Structure 1
Amino acid sequence: MRFAVLGPLEVATHDGRAVRVPELKVRALLACLLAHRGRVVPAERLIDNLWGPRPPARPLGALRARVSQLRRALDEAEPGARELVVSRPPGYLVDGDTDARRFQEAVERSRAMTGPGERAALLAEALSWWRGPAFADFAGEPLVHAAAARLEELRLSALEDYADARLALGQDASQVGELAELAGQHPARERFHALLMRALYRSGRQSEALEVYRALRERLRDELGLDPGPEIVALHQAILEQRPGLGRPPGTPAPLPARLPEPLTDLVGRDDALADVVALAGAARLVTLTGAGGVGKSRLALEAARRLAGSYPDGAYLVELSAVPAGSPSEAAAAVAAALGLHADGPADPGERVAAAVGGRRALLVLDNCEHVVEPVAKLTELLLRAGPGPRVIATSREPLGIAGEVVRQVPPLDPGAAVRLFAARAAEAAPGFALTPGDAEAAELICHRLDGIPLALELAAARVRSLGVRALAERLDDRFRLLSAGRRAGPAHQRTLRATIDWSWELLTEPERVVLRRLAVQAGGCTLEAAERVCAVPMPIPGGPPGDADLAAEAQSVARSGAQSVAQSGAQSGAQPAAQPAARPDIEPGEVVDLLSRLVDRSLVVRAGDRYRLPESVAAYALERLREAGEHERVLRWYATYYTQLAECAEAYRSGPARHRWLRRLDAETANLGGALEAALSLGDTRLAGRLTGSLGWYRAGDARAGHVVHSAGSAGRSAGRSAGSPA
């Protein structure tokens, strides 16, 4: 039996089959025992951890019952595994293998090695075992917290050792981005800053290395009242003096300007898109690739740039912008200057310096991950292209840059066949010997469909095949954000897990955009613009619809107004100025939805097909979580159920006459939403609304065989609801 704690708690048999440990307290018990690494945990401490100040009537008996459940779950998965949970006075222990123990042993072995190559290889393998924070789902438990903190400290130390070994191998410029990100995440950790200073200095960027030290010194003094330690002070002095010992190790090649990185994997399913981008970039001066997070914009842009590089005598360069702070014009320009190897001489403004240096060159720039700095990048790109006819730019962003001459191409998800090929290829890389069997093909197609054909999500899912298998993976996709939390070790932080990718897009939205996105998530089969306006905003009766729902709209508007008034009153009572209370803004109005929806389409979070709008499944799952967090779920479900009830009642009013066929087509298009609205009404306990919906669809179900499945699954419940509400069923 194998226990994994370097991330969410997981249990697997020796042959890699996942083991389900039922009930939260049983899993918490296992986490507490694993955190103590084979040492006995007293029963009293376990009881206190599991139940806190309100233990059950017979706490020892309750603890024994949880231990018994744990043993049974392990034994059912692997006979004999119950013996791993040992009862030993004064409590219990788990005698099992964990990835944390293997990680610690690997780190200790690496420190005994003398060769940087062997040390780097071992540390890279050990760090790849991390799937997230240690004991991610139980790190707050008192008996687990200390172990989680100890493991996190060991991970950071291993990352420092790994970077140090790579510096010894001469890998300087390639590490600058990663070390800058780590130093930013851990602003008081001096060793990350020292490693970054060394990498910058060896890459010919002495002034930037000195700036790292200056910023660290000021931060330590301002926030902690401390000075930097003697080791980093000595490194700073050595850089000032340009001591020979800071140079690259003997035998390593001299640093070159960072250009296009070599791909680590093949590009799958993008032949037509690649040919299109290559043709466009050969003719247009600015091509922007847009699309959803994780869809493969960066990979496609880099492959196109590699194909075109021979046509640019002054080189093709990658400028990675993900680490640039949002809305920072100077730092965006500085990132471009650094990628091009430009020095600080020339115009003081970084943008002007880039334009002056590149304007006369025939060079190709790939500006990657522009969405959070889209305005400064747009200004810089326009300045760059106006400086001369030679430069060409391929940008990747979740929305266009919006400047003259820009050619925009949206990168779509992979088609079903290409998605399955990519999933199978990445699964074979993660699990040697893996081959997609005919028996697993249907499950693989389901995985690719439910993950919207997004390459990042498919690659994260493929990494799970080794421990779960294809079918079990498909069965667990309802919990996709936990399942796909085994992030990449390299690359920008927002591209390492599925949740981080969507988090990145969410954080870039305005509050009104977030409101519309999370409310759209209740639409079961996509929706029209009218439906979005009625469900995402304060509801009003549908034009021409039957009376009886004006009270709901009036009630919703009253709730919004009273909520705003209460916020303003509470602010006045506390002495705050009303103008400083953004929450006092009324709810979204229907007229605002069209503009907000257009912005979400531009940001690749909503897909428009014809006259309908839909959310990709992963975005919808994420938005539903946000809807519940905002406390709006039941409220929006009621608006949703009411709108489609009104729609069905309008259709019923036109069930005969020349408009009949138009309304039949409309109801056909809303099949999923009509069923979803009935489920919503029943889940809210609104039997009257459910009865109105089923009653108004009676003619449609009776007269058209295509519609039999609309509400059939909830038919008996709907008919019962209709009778109790006094409406025809």
Structure 2
Amino acid sequence: MAGFRCPFCPLGTVITMRFGVLGPVRVWAADGTAIRVPELKVRALLAALLAREGQPVSTDRLVEDLWGTHPPAKAGAVLRSKVSQLRRALARDLIVHQAPGYLIRDAETDADQFQELVTRAQAAADARERASLLGEALALWRGPAYADFADEPFAQAAITRLTEQRLTALEDQAEARLALGEYTELADLIEEHPLRERLRAVYMRALYRAGRTGEALECFADLRKRLADDLGADPSPELSALHEAILRHDLGGNLPAPPSGLIGRDDAVAAVGRLLRAARMVTLTGTGGVGKTRLAVETANRLAESFVDGVWLAELDAVGAPVEVVAAVFGVRDDDAEPLLVRVAAALRHKRILLVLDNCEHVVDEVAVLANALLRAAPGLKILATSREPLNVDGEHLWVVPPLAQADAMELFVARAAAAGSTVEDADAVRGICTRLDGIPLALELAATKVHALGVRHLAEQLDNRFQLLATGRRGAPPRQQTLRAMIDWSWQLLTEDERVLLRRLAIYSGGWPLDACAESSAVLARLVDRSLVVVDDGPRYRLLESVAAYAMERLRESGEFDRVQREHFEYFTEFAERADLRGHGQRDWLRRLDAETANLHAALEGAVRQGNADMALRLSNATAYYRYLRGRWGAAKRALDLALGVDGPAQAGNRAMAKVWLATGETTTHEALAQIEDPVRRARAEWLLGFARIGFADHSVSGILAVFREHDDHWGIAAALTSRAWNALARSDLASAAADADQAVALFGEVGDDWGRMQAMDVLGEVAQITGDYPRAAALQQDGLRIAEELGLRSDVPYKLAQLGRIALASGDYPRADEFHERSRRLAAEQSDRFGEQFAEIGLALAARRQGRLAQAETYLDGWLDWAREVGWAPGVALVHAELGFIAELRGDAQTALDLHRAGYAAACDTGDPRAVALALEGMAGAHSLAGDLETAAQLLGEANATRESAGVPLPPAERGDVERISARLSVEPQDDDCTRR
């Protein structure tokens, strides 16, 4: 609806309006109240603007619309007056001046609503839903469009268009009602629109199906007379063909009645129906058992009313050539007078028929010849084919039938289990079954018959033996649909030898594969895609459905080439992982590529371990360790390294040493391992990462590593070492050095293209900015870091970036924003089972709660984390939680508890070496002493805290002075600089 700000209403009030053009022009408020537009010319101006549907109308054209060939003197001024009147009636903001004239901004009309309902009806697969939506759409009409301006030239185009849309909707509604067996209202529609042939056709079929053949013939005769009298024309060939079919009592078809409802395919039926309305040859492709036949029959049934000579099904899995099957369907005799294909084509030449050719894949060449010949000979023919591969005929439109979405698959499974007498309540088990059976309806229906005997959970656990498990069922179905194995056997038997070889070898991949993994076989791969045995995903990537993969793996093991194929697999993915550029401009792309191959990388390592190839296992686990570190999957990296180190067999010493460095199994072991890495740059990188990720750096170690990188002009290594040196400087409160090194690192990481490294160096700059109270710069740096983390998919880093933004908002006094960031951080950390991230976020929530006086809430956030921080040995966390709990106790008036907590926090703060933590503990103890009345000690402690901050160059920012100001107020003095030894 159009909206405007009311000048007489409270600030911000928006009033919405709706315009009516399906009848006399009207305006309504949001509550349905009619809004009066005074004076005929002003209403005409409104109608002229609405008729242009949001397009600007020039001043000259509006003058012509309103006054024709007799405009008033000073027409422009008069028009502006009418515009002003219209604005007063509606809203000043609604009528917009835009060169070359005026328009109504964002006007919503009943015509828009009508079109939206009609569009939804056309997309609806269910006839009852279509009829309902069309009825709702047609009810919007209050009379002829623009009824009060029906003679005005400016309205004619809109009136013509809307009238035609209404008539089309009436015809659509008539067809939908016919599908529902509702015929009674059609006579009135025919009387109102006697020359609409489509409406006549629906009515004639309705009368014929109701047993009123005479009336159907009279309806045609009436139209023929009217056309001859009024237009000197004859009925169309299509309607004449319908008339002849009624005379012959031959509105035929042989579609079977479906045995059960179709689940999860409403959108597919609608989509295929739309495609068939626009094309003459449509082929449904897809893997075996996906439901191509069922979808084709359902779609054909829905379209039956559009084909006067019926909808016919030819099942090509029957014995005989395709042309013989089709000839038998239509009763065409086979004799020697002329070829059977010619006789079938002649029989269909003047028919309007939809022919469903089912199960074409085993006779695809013969079906292609048949379809081509029939489509050329019979212009009224349309063909809907089902096949596991395309027919590749001229004009063919393909529609790939996908597996069922998970919710639909679960609904189908539960429904079929219920039909077999079983009640299913374990949603998780059903979800697992549907996932492992790839959402394939045939497989789900076979599995559902086993629920009564096995129970759904045991059934889910047995799917590794799916071919034995689903070896019976579906009596009376074609042999290829009776068991899961038979379904895939059917496709296997149709393959050439080179296609079978490639398909079984593809089973070695886990979770799919990239094209270059089998580039030498790309032509054969394309044929397997065409045969619906290989699925193409975005990327492109390729994969086998799980059941197809299980079948192909059986064939691979039978072939005797499993070990060789497995070796080629782990060799390929080892080289793939070693090529990954995770420190340069290809970082983002390689992270995505490695993500996609996670399952293959795992399977490759298992393969190398199984075959006792120690060197390959070590190479692969080393090559993926840094990737897993970046992704926050250090546990997975450690398990892979342990697995590789456990393989007996020859391996290069450097590869084994690198794995031990990654694991950092002990200081002596680590130094021995580093010494075995011959390449100095590789050794320096290993030592750097060991310090950065695992055990921390001494300054002399960083200096040594930096020297190696500079000697070999390794810009990435220099940036990495500078980042570590910057963190060390920050830890000892040397803010200038930290900022200088971090600035250099950001520039160097940007030069080599490592966004992750740039994010690490920016973290230092963000900390410096926050410590010095430059909150806008700190927030900008953290926002940039958050963007990088999200773009690179570094999910484990995102909660910390959000929490840092929360801390900055907290320091800035923006508590709602702080809570928003910390809540998002906590939620994401919890989703990743990251206890440290959860703790960091909840402490932020506690800080905000305490500063706003919500002490109980703050305490609730903090209570659970003190023991955890002690348990994991996180001294900064222990210090901060003690400080916050101490302040809560002080604010509650419990001086002794506050002092005990702050003393414990002070001990932990001293262990951290962070002067800010030490100062905070001193300030807390000062608060406890001031509360107990020991004002002298309190003053001395405040002074020492202040001196600690100043000597470290980390003064207390103004936004964080609330606790100190409260304590100082008790003393009635400013904080002092005296030293104090009392704790």
Instruction: Name the TM-score class by shorter chain.
Output: 0.5 to 0.7
Which residue does the alignment assign to 1:395? Answer: 385
Q: 1:445 to 1:278 in 2, by over 3 A?
A: same
Aligned to 2:458: 472
> Is residue 688 of structure 1 aligned with residue 676 of structure 2?
no
Which letter does structure 2 place at the counterpart of 1:285? R
Q: 1:708 aligns with which of 634, 654, 657?
A: 634
Go from structure 1 to structure 2 and tell me whether the alpha carbon gap of 1:383 and 1:303 turns closer, same or farther (over 3 Å shift): same
The secondary structure found in structure 2 opposite 1:697 is: helix
Whole-angstrom distance in 1 between the partners of 2:635 and 2:338: 68
Give the counterpart of 1:718 among 629, 644, 655. 644
Partner residue of 2:555 out of 626, 638, 655:
626
Q: Could you tell me how far apart the structure 1 residues matched to 2:460 and 2:649 are?
A: 40
Q: In the alignment, does 2:287 pair up with 1:277?
A: no
TM-score when normalising by structure 1 = 0.54
Q: State the shift of 1:471 in Å.
A: 0.4
The alignment covers a number of residue pairs equal to 405
In the alignment, which residue of structure 2 is the partner of 1:435? 423
Q: Take 2:589 and 2:622, find their aligned partners in 1: how far apart are those partners?
A: 20
**1:635-673 residue CA offsets vs partner (Å, 9 max, x unmatched):** 10000000011112222xx44333334333322221111
Find the counterpart in structure 2 of residue 426 from structure 1.
416
For the residues of structure 2 that align with 1:315 and 1:697, how far apart are their CA atoms? Answer: 62
For 1:257 and 1:344, locate their aligned partners in 2 and report how far apart those are by CA, in whole Å: 21
Partner of 1:312: 307
In structure 2, the residue matched to 1:343 is 333
Once the two structures are superposed, the pairs formed by residues 196-215 of structure 1 within 5 Å of their partners are none
String of CA shifts for 1:25-79, please: whole Å, max 9, x gaps.
Answer: xxxxxxxxxxxxxxxxxxxxxxxxxxxxxxxxxxxxxxxxxxxxxxxxxxxxxxx
Query: Match for residue 714 of structure 2?
Result: none
Is the contact made by 1:688 and 1:722 (CA closer than 8 Å) also made in structure 2? no
Distance in 1 of aligned mates of 2:637 and 2:332: 66
The reply to whether residue 650 of structure 1 matches residue 579 of structure 2 is yes
Displacement, 1:618? Answer: 0.3
Q: Partner residue of 1:410?
A: 400
Q: Tell me the distance in 1 between the aligned counterparts of 2:565 and 2:493.
A: 22
| Cα distance change, pair 645–348 in 1 and its aligned pair in 2 (3 A) | same
Between the aligned residues of both structures, percent identity stands at: 54
Q: Is the 8 A contact 2:504 2:552 kept in 1?
A: yes
Q: For residue 467 of structure 2, what is the aligned residue in structure 1?
A: 481
Deviation at 1:518, TM superposition (A): 1.0
- Counterpart of 2:536 in structure 1 is 608
Query: Take 2:627 and 2:543, find their aligned partners in 1: how far apart are those partners?
Result: 25
How much does 1:722 deviate? 8.4
**Which residue identity lines up with residue 678 of structure 1 in the other structure?**
L
| Distance in 1, Cα, partners of 2:359 & 2:375 | 19
Q: 1:526 aligns with which of 484, 487, 512?
A: 512
CA shift, 1:295, in A, is 0.3
The separation in 2 between residues aligned to 1:668 and 1:456, in whole angstroms, is 32
| 3-state SS in 2 of match to 1:407 | strand
The CA deviation string for residues 613-651 of structure 1, in whole angstroms up to 9 with x for no partner, is 010000000000111111111110000000011112222
For the pair 1:289 / 2:302, whether they are aligned, the reply is: no
1:688 CA displacement: 2.0
Distance verdict in 2 for CA 1:510–1:315, change over 3 Å: same
Distance verdict in 2 for CA 1:606–1:709, change over 3 Å: farther
Of stretches 409-418 and 656-665 in structure 1, the one that deviates more from structure 2 is: 656-665
Equivalents in 2 of 1:464, 1:482: separation in Å?
A: 12
Residue 258 of structure 1: CA displacement? 7.3
CA deviations 1:2-36 (Å, max 9, x no partner) are xxxxxxxxxxxxxxxxxxxxxxxxxxxxxxxxxxx
Distance, in Å, in 2 between the alignment partners of 1:688 and 1:436 is: 50
Distance of 1:313 and 1:656 partners within structure 2:
67
1:554 corresponds to which residue?
none
Report the Cα offset of residue 465 of structure 1. Answer: 0.6
Write out aligned runs for 1:540-579 (5 A): none
Q: Which segments of 5 or more consecutive residues in structure 1 lack a partner in the other structure?
A: 1-254, 326-330, 534-589
Per-residue deviation, residues 514-559 of structure 1 (Å, max 9, x unmatched): 11111111111211001123xxxxxxxxxxxxxxxxxxxxxxxxxx
> Mapping of 1:105-504 within 5 angstroms?
259-324=254-319, 331-345=321-335, 347-431=337-421, 434-437=422-425, 440-504=426-490
Q: TM-score, normalised by structure 2?
A: 0.40
Alpha-carbon distance, 1:346 to partner: 7.7
Determine the C-alpha separation between the residues in 2 that align with 1:401 and 1:658. Answer: 45
What is residue 61 of structure 1 aligned with on the other side? none
Structure 1 pair 345–659 and aligned structure 2 pair: CA distance change class (3 A): closer
Letter matched to residue 319 of structure 1: A
Counterpart secondary structure, 1:491: coil
Q: Aligned to 1:599, what secondary structure does the other structure show?
A: helix
Task: Measure the CA separation in 2 of the matches of 1:710 and 1:382.
Answer: 57
Letter aligned with residue 376 of structure 1 = E
Distance change (3 Å), C-alpha of 1:636 and 1:284: same
| Structure with more of its chain in helix, by fraction | 2
**Pair 353,383 (structure 1): closer, same or farther in 2 beyond 3 Å:** same
Aligned partner of 2:893 in structure 1 is: none
CA distance in 2, matches of 1:662, 1:306: 48
Q: Are residue 639 (structure 1) and residue 568 (structure 2) matched?
A: yes
Q: Which runs of 5+ in 2 are unaligned?
A: 1-249, 660-983
Contact 2:279 2:397 (8 Å CA) reproduced: yes
8 Å contact kept, 2:362–2:494: yes
Q: 8 Å contact 2:507–2:550 — kept in the other structure?
A: yes
Displacement of 1:509: 1.0
Distance 1:516 1:685, change over 3 A: same
Residues 258 and 340 of structure 1 are in contact (CA less than 8 Å); yes or no, is this contact kept in structure 2? no
Q: Residue type of the partner of 2:294?
A: R
Per-residue deviation, residues 434-464 of structure 1 (Å, max 9, x unmatched): 3332xx1000000000000000000000000
Q: Residue 506 of structure 1 aligns with which residue?
A: 492
2:502 matched residue in structure 1: 516
> Bigger relative contact order, structure 1 or 2, given CA contacts below 8 A and separation 6+?
1
Q: Is the 8 A contact 1:420 1:448 kept in 2?
A: yes
1:69-100 CA-to-partner distances (Å, cap 9, x unmatched) read xxxxxxxxxxxxxxxxxxxxxxxxxxxxxxxx
Q: What is the match of residue 970 of structure 2?
A: none
Cα pair 2:251 2:308 within 8 Å, conserved = no
Relative to structure 1, the CA distance from residue 712 to residue 441 in structure 2 (aligned partners, 3 Å threshold; closer, same or farther) is farther
Q: Hey, what's the Cα distance between the residues in 1 that align with 2:493 and 2:372?
A: 26
Please give the alpha-carbon distance, in whole angstroms, between the structure 1 residues aligned to 2:572 and 2:403.
31
User: Contact 2:280/2:382 (CA < 8 Å) preserved in 1?
Assistant: yes
C-alpha RMSD of the superposition: 2.0
Task: Tell me how far apart the structure 2 counterparts of residues 422 and 385 of structure 1 sit (CA, whole Å).
Answer: 37
CA gap 1:661/1:257 in 2 versus in 1, 3 angstroms: closer
Does the CA-based 8 Å contact 1:366-1:395 persist in structure 2?
yes
